[in-house]
Each structure stands twice: as C-alpha cells, then as structure tokens.
Structure 1
Amino acid sequence: MTSHVRPNGINIRRGIVVAADSAATSAATTELGDLPTWRLEDLYDSRDGAALKADLDSATERARNFEAAWKGKLTDAAQKTGAQGLGPAIAEYDELDDLFGKIGSYAGLTYFSDTSNPANGKFYGDVQAKLTDLSSHLLFFALELNRIDDAVIDAAIARDPAVAHYQPWIVDLRKDKPFQLEDKLEQLFLDKSMTSAAAFNRLFDETMADLRFEVDGEKQSLEITLNMLQEPDPEVRAKAAAALSATFKDNLRVFTLITNTLAKDKAISDRWRGFDDIADSRHLANRVERETVDALAAAVKDAYPRLSHRYYAMKAKWLGMETMNFWDRNAPLPETPNAVIPWADAKDTVLSAYGAFSPEMADIARRFFDEQWIDAPARPGKAPGAFAHPVVPSAHPYVLVNYLGKPRDVMTLAHELGHGVHQVLAGGQGALMCQTPLTLAETASVFGEMLTFRALLEKTKDKKERKAMLAQKVEDMINTVVRQIAFYEFERKVHTARKEGELTADQIGELWLSVQEESLGPAIKISEGYETWWTYIPHFIHSPFYVYAYAFGDCLVNSLYAVYQNAAPGFQDKYFDLLKAGGSKHYSELLKPFGLDASDPAFWSKGLSMIESLIDELEALDKA
C-alpha cells in the first residue's frame, strides 16, 4: 500500500460526544472531584519549543539521508549481511516511524485538546502536511521491499538475524503486495491525501465540535444532549431527541457532502488497487479474512431476535410501555441508581478490578493516573468521544475521556485503560510491529470492561440494583455487537449505492432506517427525525468499516472470558503474551493457546450465547 509509516491521525472510539459548555463543566467538576488533564510535556514542552524543532529538523535530514542511502539498493542489500544488509535499513525505518509518530501524535493530541482553537487547527494541519512531505522520502521502502523475490527475502531472513527479527513485519507487509501501485501513483495518492480524505475528516470533526442543540431555550453541546437520553424523565428524553434531530437536519447538507465525497474517494482508491469488495481494504488492514467477517455478521444478524428484539421487548414492559420510542432505547430502569460517581471512585473501581485479575495489569493502568496520561474533563472544543492513543514505543500512550460520572463513563474508562495497558505491553515490539490489527485491538479494552463489570456485579446483593446493572451491561453489549454490525451493514449499503451515483440525504436516511428497524426490532418505534442520526457517527468518516471490530472483540472476549472463568491454568500468562505480541502474530495464532478458533462458526455462537445468558438471568430476576 502507500506506506507503513505510522498514520498521524487519532481514531475516535466508543461513539461520539463533544465537550460540555463551561457552566455545565464547572458544576460537574465540583461534584466529580479533581479531574485530570494529560501532560503533553512528556512529548514536547510546547509547539514552539526547541525540542520539537530539533526533532522536525532531524526527521527531515534523516528521511532524506535514508532515501539517498537505500533507494534502488534493497535487492542488493537483501543478499548481504552486516551494515550493508537489510537489517540496518529496516531498523532505521523503524526508528523513523517512531520519530514521525511522536511528532504527529503531539500535534494530534494538542488539536484534540481543543479543536475550536484555530491555532491548534493550524498547528495540526501544518505538522500533518510536513510529515506527509517527509513520508514521500520513505515511500519507496515498502514498495521496493515488496518487489524483491520471495526466495531472496526468505534467504535473507534465514541468513541474517537482524532481518529475521523483523520477519513478522516483512511477512505482513507482503500481504499488501497484490494491491500496491507503481511508485509515481503511490506518490500521488500520498501527496493528495491531505486534500482528499484527511481534509473531509477534519471538516467533520470541526463541524461536530461547533454544533449546539437547543433544549428548553438553552443551547448545549452534543455530549450533554446525548446524556439526556439516559435521564429517567421521558419528557426530558423526548426533548433531547427532538433537539438532536433538529440540529442534525439543519446540517444534513454538509454531512451528506462529506459522506458522498469520502465514499467516492474510497471507491476510486479501491478500483485502482484492485479490491473486489467494498470492505476488502479494511479486512486487509485488519489481517482478517472476508469469510470470517461475513460469518460474524451473519451470526449476529441471525441472533437479532434472541438478543436485541427480545431484550427491548422486556425493557418496554419494565418501563410500562407497549413499544419504546427510539429515544428510550438507553433510558435507565426505575431501579437504576441515580448518584453521580466521583472520579476517585471510578479510578478505585477500575484499578481494583484490574488488580484482582493481575497486579501487573493494575500497576500499568495506575501509571495513567499517577503520571497524567489521562484527559478526563468535558470542556468546550475538546475532542469527541473517548480514545486511547498509543503514540509510539519510545514515549507512552494517552487516554481521553469525557467523564460525567455516569456508570457508563466508568465502563468507558475501564475500556480505554484496557487499550492503554495493551499499548504499553505491545510497545516492546517496536514501532513497526506494536500496532495491533483491529481484530484484536478491542480485546484488552472489552476484557477490561468485563473485569470491571463482574467485580461490581459480585459486590451487588440488592436484587433491584443487580437487575439495573445487568440491564445496563446487556445494553452495552447490544450496542457493541448488534448495533455495530447494523452500522457495518449500513456502511455496506451506502458504499454500494454510492457506486451508482451521488446519494441524497433522504436516500442515506432510508438506508439508515432499514438497518435500524431490522436490528432494533418491533419493540422500538422508529419515528420521524431518526432518519438523520447517521450523521454523528465518527467511525463512518474516520475509519470506514471499522465498526465490526467492536463486535469481533466483544464476541472474542466473551469466549476468552469463559476460558478464564473455567480457571484454565496459566490464563493470565497466556493473556499477557497475547497483548505483548502487538501486531507480530496473526489473531488465529494468538488464540490457539486458549483453544479458540474464530474460523469455526461455533466460536461466534459461543460469544453471542453469553449475551443471551445475561438476558436469561434478567428474565429470571424479573420472575423471581
């Protein structure tokens, strides 16, 4: 493909939220306690500082020198050892990947700290442009390496330990070989990236950050408005939904343009590279077979009646409704505790759950709190959603959340810290091999959530509180599995339809409603206004077809957790080996020690059955 140099963007996870208004933030901070902000000085002291300038200068000089030293010489190098062999070349490329990633991460994290600040936007854009230009000096490396005969590469790996060290990366790289273009076209794709997909990604982010939603005469952010959908008062939920629909509708034109442009841009890239299916480029990036994803999607869709349809019918009855409005989907049960959870309690909850599984895991997670690797407050202009960004092995990850003290916020914290622990452990693989494919990228995060949930559930003896907790977990799992597969099916429909021409907002809305009605079932009433709610999902924009990774990860962790519950000997050690592997092994190889095989249809059924068993438990509690 174009390059294996680390991308400079940051993937937003766990849905999308936008920072609260300042008054709400101030009130929330008082109730929540001291919320940490991250310490970006660990990367660079400032955007104008000498350290960043020195690294940019170094990156420029080293990239040019690397091209001069190795371009056109890799076939010859593959037949040598020592200083003239491939080993030093790949090692230098690895170091450059780390350096570029550190610079790009600092710019990205600065920007996402406050996307409304024009200076942050300019800094981020300028750094992205600079790194893209410098990447042009490195573009040749992966392309030229892939043109070397397999027999020559195999011999180099067998002969030279310095090359053998990078064998997993080389083998992985060569999977891109059938889809790479000749050098000038790859250069064009790289040069145009800043003014094509990246530009529309930024337009989406900045548009979302600026949106305000009017409820009872007060304009507020998306995060606050979405939070109102979890309020006990049905009238409050209805007003919030109306405000969301109204603002989404007012901005349909720009979101429709972004969606059409990015879908067309992807189709052009896929056509030039020779991908057969609209999602094949994502499957390749994930190092997962299309058949495995198809089997997952089919298993989840087949389970809709047993999972979401059944659960929402039960919930409607608990809420005293025949059918729920679409804005009632995440409404709390009457039994749900309403107290705000202070930050200190959330920290203790997650760390104790992690520590009960593995003291080492808790120690790694504790560093995020102690060393200011977390940004927690909701504030104007702050990035939407929540994410854990790995940065680079020579530095450390950072976690962003928008913490408002809801039980789901505690689970989000557990989720993102799971990513953070994974990223710390995988860092030992180096910049080129630490990046975990999305098939396993959600493993540690979902496992961290599960540990936290199980720890809380075990402490809960009150029947009503237990019911509320189980219901919330079931809803989270439905959102992670059923909803994400519905998102995946929506994306497939949009990208397929876009091949026939530009789509109107109404057409996109119809596709959205078709998958929502199928996945939610007859207990959810889909009414006017919901047809615009596709607009705020960031994954459709930043990472097309990413969403099935959540379902993949949830089902995988359900199966993995079942192995853990059965007290499999040495589970913790095997689990840490999985996390430490990063991207150095295929997911199938990493699952073998646990006796799991994702190519087996029964694997997905086993994962889905855990969700079904929690619904069974809820039903039993209801009848008791």
Structure 2
Amino acid sequence: MTIMDQPRFFRFPLRDENALPVGGERPDLGDLPDWDLSDLYAAPDAPELSRDLELLGKASADFARDYEGRLISLSPEKMLECVERYQQIDILAGRLMSYTGLRYYQNTTDAARAKQMGDLQDRITEDTTRLVFFSLEFNRIPEDRYLEVFTDPDGPERYKPVFDRMRVMRPHQLSDELERFVHDNTVAGVAAWNRLFDETTAALSFDVGGEELGLEATLNLLTDHDRARREAAARALAKVFSSNIKLFSRIHNTLCKKKAIEDKWRKMATPQSARHLSNHVEPEVVEALRNAVTAAYPRLSHRYYALKARWLGLDKLQVWDRNAPLPSESPRLIAWPEARATVLDAYAGFDPKLAELAQPFFDRGWIDAAVKPGKAPGAFAHPTVTTAHPYVLLNYLGKPRDVMTLAHELGHGVHQRLAAAQGELLAATPLTLAETASVFGEMLTFRALLAKATDKAQRKALLAGKVEDMINTVVRQIAFYDFECKLHAARAEGELTPEDINALWMSVQGESLGPAFEFMPGYETFWSYVPHFVHSPFYVYAYAFGDGLVNALYAVYEDGLPDFQSKYFDMLAAGGTKHHKELLAPFGLDASDPAFWDKGLSMIEGFIDELEAMET
C-alpha cells in the first residue's frame, strides 16, 4: 500500500467503441453533461489547492517525525491514532491527484493541464517519500505483536484487513533505501512512459475517406452499418499503427523490462504474481477462469461468429465485421434523456435504492459525457476520495452499446459510493470484484430492454449485442491476458522486435476468434493501442472475472434467493474489508470451485442457443 496507489476503475475502449467523429456533424443527443469538479477544488489556481499541497508536505513530515522507528512499540490506542493520521494524508494526496488527473483526462492535449499534473505528481512523490518507512517498518513487526495490537477492540481492529493484505507483501519487500528509490523513480519511470503512450495515442490522426479523425472516432466506425466505411476505418487504423509501431514496441519493451527487474528484486514467482497479490486472488483461481474460458472458445466465440457470418452473408468475417451491426438492425440514436431514463428505470426495477444512488451523477455534474478533442478515450469511473464522490467519464454517441457503457460506469459509481463509508483505506475493492456492480448494472439494463422487446428482430438484435459484449468481455479479455503472459515471457528472453510482438498478438487472436475470421494485413499491430497493457499489466482478466461472477450471481437472483437485494448491497458496501470467498458465501457461490466459471459461461451459451433457434 502506498500513498500513490489511488484506485481508478478505467474502462478504456476495449470494445472498440465509444467515439464520435471529431470532424463530422454531431447528431442531436440532447444536453450532454460536463463535470463540475468544484466539489474537489474550485479552480486549478484555487487557494485551497495550494493550501492542501502545503498541508500534505507538513503532515507527511510530521508523521515521519512522530512514528518512524516507533511502530513496533505503539500501544493499540496509539496505533489506531497512527493509522487514522495516515488515512488523512492518503485523502489529501488523493484529492489533489484526482482533481488534476480528471482535468487532464478532459483534455490530454492541453499542455497546461499536463504540466500541472506532472508538477503535482513530482511534488507529491517528493513529499510522500517520507512515508515509505511506514509499510516497510510495519511489515517488520513480529506476528504475535501484530495480532496483539490489531485484535484489540480499543485499537485499529477494523483496519486489520488492510494490514493483512500489506503483510502479504512481506516476502517481496526491499530494503528501506531501495523502496525509497523505487518510490522516487516513479515519476521518471513507469509514469513517464504511461504519459508518452497516452499523449501519443491522443495525438494520432487517421485518414478515413479523406476525413481526418482521432483514434476514438476511427474505432467507432468499426460498428458502422456501411461495410465499406468499416473497412476503410480498419485499414486506416492498421496504417497508422504500423507507422508508429516502433515507438509502441519501445514503450512495451521498456515497461516489460522495468517490471521484470522489479519482480526479480521482489522475488515475484511470475510476472502475474504482483497483480494476483494486489487483487487478493489466488493464482489457481485465475488459472481456473482462464482454462474454463479457453476451453469454451469453440462453444462461444467460434460458434457465435460462424452464426454471424451467415447473417452477414459472408464466407469469412474480416476484422471490420467483428462488431458490425446485424443487417436487420436499424440504426437508431438514443438521446441522452432516454439513456438516462433507461438505466435509472432498470436500476429501480431491481431496487429503488440503486436508482437513488445513481441519480446524483446526472443531477450534480458527476458525469462528463460528450466527445471532445483531446478527451481521454473510452470510459471510466474514478472514486476520487471517500470524503467527496466518484466522477464518471463517457464518450457518449447515442448507440445502444453506449447506454450499456453508461449502465456499467454507474454500477462502478454506485459501488464506490457505498464502499466509501468504510473510509479511505478500506473502501478500495480488489479488481476481481471491482467489476461486479458494473457488469451487474449492465445485466439489469439489458434484461429490462429485452423484456420490452416487441418483435423477433428487436429481440434478436438485443441478444446478439449482448452476446458480442459478453464475448468481448470474457473471451477477448482472456485472449488479452494470454497475450500479456506471452509478451512478458518472451521479453524475459531478450529485446522484442515489432514483428515478434505482432506474432504473439496473432497467436492468440486466431485461437480466440476462431475459423470464421480472416485477418487483414496490418491487424497484427492492433495490440498497440490497448492502454491496459501499459497502465495496468494483467488487469484485463478482472473483466472476465467480473462477467463470469455476475452471470453466476444473476442466476442466483433469478432463482429467487431470499433477501438477495440486501445481500447485494452489503457485498458492495463491504469495499475491501472481505475476501471474495466471504463476499460470495451468502449467495452460495465459490470462485475457487472450477465449476463456478462454467455456470457463468453457460449463460452466454444459452443466449447463443436462443439465437440459433431463431434461425429455424
């Protein structure tokens, strides 16, 4: 646990969606909301921001003066005071970085915003270097003394789950001096390469039929009804990715090597180990998920895409057909008021409390929805700090999938609001469970729309869209995970050329998408724009974990488990206080059981069964 580990639930455009042509005519989607960041700070030059920055430096110095070298001797009461002071420093740093980070993501090409974020990150890193001793010294407390202090009802007992997780890192802890070096080196290391990637992708320009578009807008065309337009977009993506592939290869080579060096020093068993530890999930659980999904490729993606090829009248699908709308699906833009009503009604149908928790996002400037030049792609929900509230970023286009994205991010936001009551240190949910509320929100919205479907064509379009989303969330993300595993393993053997990385990408694409596909020249470079590989190595399996978990959870809901709603809210409100085994037990579910994942996958198979039955 470090002061800079602010939890952010990003949902970048892994589904190749969420964009609006920057240079084209904008359809009337209604009054799309912008963020009101004044709940954090009134302005980038607000005196309160400067005050908090000074407070952070002083609080960090005072904390180090009062506690460094003394943690082992603190009484339970004094340890509680120490932990709560640390939490307040965490809140200060989190508020500062949330504000400047959110402003930056509104326009990543604005030099002033980028400078403020970089300068602030430098300052906070420098100030909080004084706190590096905390986790290091804490992990040297003998186990009997630790248990004595953290099981005392007058002490920090409620914080024990946080420190239990911290102590899992004991075998991987470096010396105090090296930990300070790693902390100080963050800004000039991984963070700098992350910024280079972000600013490079934000500045990319694609010529599609004579029109210059950004990455988001070009990816959006892959869902266009016009097949020629989709092909033009795919070829434009391939051309630009190929021309920048050396830079993207350098970024990935460097970050993989930096990770390998740190993993070696920390004695991590595998490149994935750090992610599993931070997710509080056992490697065998992730392996069971991965194996279940890859074994199901023929029953899921291969089968569905063969069906889609028939619908489109094609012998082979091209990559620009993967997310193509069905021929019978009439294009319809959904204005913002309808999207808002659709999601809130679906949430209220589950429980009015869920809609009440989501309502303020629309009313109080907690959503930034419109596509704008320089704005970060995709969508995310950022919890900021527990003394404020989350903010949701969208790139809303008015497509049905954009409504699902809204439902997804609001699920995150509701989860973050409920967990905030635990306090800053206990609110953060492990990534494996962080996708639960978001995917559940999507499922509620999908089921509400399906129940209102008035004819066969409408039902078919909804079912097909949901199956594609589930395949993109489960199959595609596990393929991404396999690609990352292969990438890091190959980099351990030496520098990788762009052709090496391209070959690794194609080795998982053919396996996961199946024989219905033919891959155009240039598709081998499409790994280059996926931000998760850069920002959060091995993050992607959390999407598949969340989807499989929610499918199983929704089946329990449909079966009528007594008090399901209250148990669901309790699970979300628990934040990071419990392990996934404890959280799922009230629902009779266990993610460590290999059969658990087959239950979730069977829901996708059931939808494909219904689609196939419509053909007869």
Query: How high is the TM-score relative to the length of structure 1?
Result: 0.97
2:549 matched to which residue of 1? 556
1:125 to 2:123 alignment? no
1:58 matched to which residue of 2? 55
1:49 matched to which residue of 2? 46
Cα distance change, pair 296–229 in 1 and its aligned pair in 2 (3 A): same
Map residues 529-608 of structure 1 onto 2, 5 A cutoff: 529-608=522-601
Cα offset, 1:158, TM superposition: 2.8
User: Residues 18 and 396 of structure 2 are in contact (CA less than 8 Å); yes or no, is this contact kept in structure 1?
Assistant: no
1:12 matched to which residue of 2? 10
Deviations 1:233-272 (A, max 9, x none): 2111111111010010111111011010000010001000
What is the aligned counterpart of 1:441 among 431, 434, 443?
434
Deviations 1:488-545 (A, max 9, x none): 0000001000011110111100110010000000001112110010011010000000
SS of the equivalent of 1:12 reads strand
Map residues 17-96 of structure 1 onto 2, 5 A cutoff: 20=20, 22-24=22-24, 27-28=25-26, 30-77=27-74, 80-82=75-77, 85-96=78-89
Deviations 1:532-588 (A, max 9, x none): 100110100000000000000000000000000011100001000110011111011
User: In the comparison of the two structures, how many residue pairs are matched?
Assistant: 614
For structure 2, the 5+ residue unaligned runs are none
SS of the equivalent of 2:334 reads coil
Q: State the alpha-carbon separation in 2 of the partners of residues 384 and 456 from structure 1.
A: 26
Q: State the alpha-carbon separation in 2 of the partners of residues 600 and 18 from structure 1.
A: 35
1:391 matched to which residue of 2? 384
1:348 to 2:345 alignment? no
1:527 to 2:525 alignment? no
Cα offset, 1:363, TM superposition: 0.7
For structure 1, the 5+ residue unaligned runs are none
SS of the equivalent of 2:120 reads helix
Q: State the alpha-carbon separation in 2 of the partners of residues 247 and 486 from structure 1.
A: 23
Q: State the alpha-carbon separation in 2 of the partners of residues 22 and 442 from structure 1.
A: 30
Deviations 1:42-85 (A, max 9, x none): 100111111101111111111100000000000110xx243xx2
Map residues 180-199 of structure 1 onto 2, 5 A cutoff: 180-199=173-192
What is the aligned counterpart of 2:223 among 208, 230, 251?
230
Cα distance change, pair 294–22 in 1 and its aligned pair in 2 (3 A): closer
Q: State the alpha-carbon separation in 2 of the partners of residues 572 and 118 from structure 1.
A: 47
Greater shift after overlay, 541-550 or 7-16? 7-16
Please list every run of at least 4 consecutive aligned residues from structure 1 whose deviation after the TM superposition is greater than 6 angstroms.
none
1:297 matched to which residue of 2? 290
User: Residues 348 and 354 of structure 2 are in contact (CA less than 8 Å); yes or no, is this contact kept in structure 1?
Assistant: yes
Q: State the alpha-carbon separation in 1 of the partners of residues 9 and 101 from structure 2.
A: 10
User: Residues 414 and 448 of structure 1 are in contact (CA less than 8 Å); yes or no, is this contact kept in structure 2?
Assistant: yes
Map residues 398-437 of structure 1 onto 2, 5 A cutoff: 398-437=391-430
SS of the equivalent of 2:424 reads coil
Residue identity matched to 2:442: E
| Identity value in percent | 54
Cα offset, 1:99, TM superposition: 1.2
1:459 matched to which residue of 2? 452
SS of the equivalent of 2:615 reads helix
Cα distance change, pair 553–260 in 1 and its aligned pair in 2 (3 A): same
Deviations 1:188-240 (A, max 9, x none): 10011111111000000000100011011111011211111111121111111
SS of the equivalent of 1:525 reads coil
Greater shift after overlay, 53-62 or 12-21? 12-21
1:612 to 2:605 alignment? yes
Residue identity matched to 1:54: R
Q: State the alpha-carbon separation in 1 of the partners of residues 605 and 153 from structure 2.
A: 52
What is the aligned counterpart of 2:241 among 230, 241, 248?
248
User: Residues 18 and 222 of structure 1 are in contact (CA less than 8 Å); yes or no, is this contact kept in structure 2?
Assistant: no
1:141 to 2:134 alignment? yes
Deviations 1:146-172 (A, max 9, x none): 110110011112334231121111212
What is the aligned counterpart of 2:200 among 180, 192, 207?
207
What is the aligned counterpart of 1:471 among 445, 450, 464?
464
Q: State the alpha-carbon separation in 2 of the partners of residues 575 and 555 from structure 1.
A: 16
1:321 to 2:314 alignment? yes
Residue identity matched to 2:11: R
1:358 matched to which residue of 2? 351
SS of the equivalent of 1:103 reads helix
Q: State the alpha-carbon separation in 1 of the partners of residues 290 and 191 from structure 2.
A: 29
Q: RMSD of the alignment, in Å? A: 1.2
Cα offset, 1:11, TM superposition: 5.0
User: Residues 9 and 108 of structure 1 are in contact (CA less than 8 Å); yes or no, is this contact kept in structure 2?
Assistant: no
Residue identity matched to 1:394: T
Residue identity matched to 1:411: M
User: Residues 43 and 395 of structure 1 are in contact (CA less than 8 Å); yes or no, is this contact kept in structure 2?
Assistant: yes
Residue identity matched to 2:10: I
Cα offset, 1:382, TM superposition: 0.4
